[in-house]
Structure 1
Amino acid sequence: MIGDAHPLGAERLVRELDWNLLRTFVVLSRSHSVSDAAERLSLKQPTVSSALKRLEDRLGKKLINRKPGHFELTEAGELLLKEAVEIQGAILRLGTLMREVADEVRGHVEIAMASHVVCPLLDETLCRFHEMHPAATLSINISASKDALDAVMARRASLAVCLVRNRNAKLEYSRLFREFFGFFCGPTHPLFGRSGLTKADLAGQSAVSFVTDRLEDALRPVTLMRADVDLLDRVVGTSANLEEVRRMIIAGLGVGPLPVHVVGRDLKDGLLWRLPPYENLPAIDVHVVWNPSVKMNRAEAALLKMLLDHIERTPIAERTYL
Structure 2
Amino acid sequence: MNNARVDLSEKFVGELDWNLLRTFVVIVQEGGITAAAHRLLLRQPTVSLALQRLESRIGSRLIDRGRGAFRVTAAGRELYRECVEIYGSVARLAEVATTASREVSGNVHVSLASHVITPLLDDTITAFHAAHPGATYRIKIETSADVARSVQESSASLGICLVNKRLPQLDYEVIYREFFGFFCGPPHPLFGRAGLTLEDLRGQAAVSFDTDYVGDALRPVALLRRQYELGQPVVGQSPHLEEVRRMILCGLGIGPLPIHVMERDIRDGLLWRLPPYRKPPAIDIYLVTNPRRALNRAEAGFIAALRRRIADTPIAERTYAGSA
TM-score range, shorter chain: 0.7 to 0.9
CA distance in 1, matches of 2:232, 2:76: 34
The 8 Å contact of residues 21 and 51 in structure 1, kept in 2 or not, is answered as: no
In the alignment, which residue of structure 1 is the partner of 2:245?
246
Asked whether 1:27 is paired with 2:26, we answer: no
Q: Which runs of 4+ in 1 moved over 4 A?
A: 10-17, 32-35, 48-51, 62-66, 70-74
Q: What's the C-alpha RMSD, in Å, of the aligned pairs?
A: 2.8
CA distance in 2, matches of 1:170, 1:71: 29
- Cα distance, 1:53 vs structure 2: 4.9
Secondary structure at the residue paired with 1:125?
helix
The 8 Å contact of residues 206 and 235 in structure 1, kept in 2 or not, is answered as: yes
Secondary structure at the residue paired with 1:180?
strand
- Cα distance, 1:204 vs structure 2: 0.5
Compared CA separation, residues 184 and 232, structure 1 to 2 (3 A): closer
- Cα distance, 1:143 vs structure 2: 0.8
The 8 Å contact of residues 114 and 241 in structure 2, kept in 1 or not, is answered as: yes
The 8 Å contact of residues 20 and 51 in structure 2, kept in 1 or not, is answered as: no
The 8 Å contact of residues 55 and 61 in structure 2, kept in 1 or not, is answered as: no
Asked whether 1:315 is paired with 2:314, we answer: yes
- Cα distance, 1:100 vs structure 2: 2.3
In the alignment, which residue of structure 1 is the partner of 2:145?
146
Taking structure 2 as the reference length, the TM-score comes to 0.84
Q: How does 1:204-219 map to 2 (within 5 A)?
A: 204-219=203-218
CA distance in 1, matches of 2:7, 2:216: 42
**Per-residue CA distance 1:207-265 (angstroms, 9 max, x = gap):** 11111111111100000122233224432111111011000100111100011101111
- Cα distance, 1:37 vs structure 2: 5.5
Secondary structure at the residue paired with 2:178?
strand
The 8 Å contact of residues 26 and 85 in structure 1, kept in 2 or not, is answered as: no
Compared CA separation, residues 169 and 25, structure 1 to 2 (3 A): closer
Show structure 1 runs of 5+ residues with no match. 1-9, 39-44
* Percent identity of paired positions between Structure 1 and Structure 2: 45
- Cα distance, 1:192 vs structure 2: 0.4
Secondary structure at the residue paired with 2:229?
coil
- Cα distance, 1:54 vs structure 2: 4.0
Compared CA separation, residues 84 and 139, structure 1 to 2 (3 A): same
In the alignment, which residue of structure 1 is the partner of 2:61?
61
Aligned residues: 300
**Per-residue CA distance 1:94-139 (angstroms, 9 max, x = gap):** 3312332111011001111000211011110110010111111111
In the alignment, which residue of structure 1 is the partner of 2:72?
75
In the alignment, which residue of structure 2 is the partner of 1:112?
111
- Cα distance, 1:269 vs structure 2: 1.5
Show structure 2 runs of 5+ residues with no match. 28-35
Compared CA separation, residues 268 and 50, structure 1 to 2 (3 A): closer
Taking structure 1 as the reference length, the TM-score comes to 0.84
The 8 Å contact of residues 33 and 71 in structure 1, kept in 2 or not, is answered as: no
In the alignment, which residue of structure 2 is the partner of 1:18?
13
**Per-residue CA distance 1:272-313 (angstroms, 9 max, x = gap):** 001001001111111111000111111000000000001111
Secondary structure at the residue paired with 1:257?
strand
